[in-house]
Amino acid sequence: MSVELIRLSGYEPDVDIPIVFIGIRPGEKLFETLFTEGEDALLTEHEKILTVKVDSNLRGKDLLDCLGRLTTLVERSDNSKIVDLLREIVPGYHPMDRELPTTGREEH
């Protein structure tokens, strides 16, 4: 795919632009997980299209409340509480074990 993109940009792969395979980076997946715990795949009329039924306690007003809380935490740059809230509202969310970057906003 990258070879085609290089050619479409008017360059020659490995001549104008080197292609270097560096391996998997931290957090990079070899394959995508289509469904997480608590999700059920449902067939549709098209054999290659599935829908997902999600068991979630978040509905309408609860979701809007969570989004409002999340917005407030982002404005405060409160990363640890952001992670806690994401764990609460996103089934199967497991953050990477590394320090979260700050948003770059100054505290007032």
Residue 25 lies in a domain: yes
Q: Domain span at residue 24?
A: 2-89
First to last CA, the chain: 47
- The percent of residues in the chain predicted with pLDDT above 90, rounded, is 31
Look at residue 108 and tell me if it is in a domain.
Answer: no
Please tell me the total count of domains within the chain: 1
Question: Per the domain annotation, does 59 fall within a domain?
Answer: yes
Is residue 101 in some structural domain?
Answer: no
pLDDT, tens only, 42-82: 889 998 898 887 666 666 668 788 889 999 999 999 999 99
Picking from 52, 58, 21, 51, the residue whose alpha carbon sits closest to that of residue 39 is 52
Domain membership of residue 100 (yes or no) is no
Looking at residue 52, its pLDDT comes to 82
Does residue 64 fall inside a structural domain? yes
Residue 54: inside a domain? yes
* In-domain check, residue 81: yes
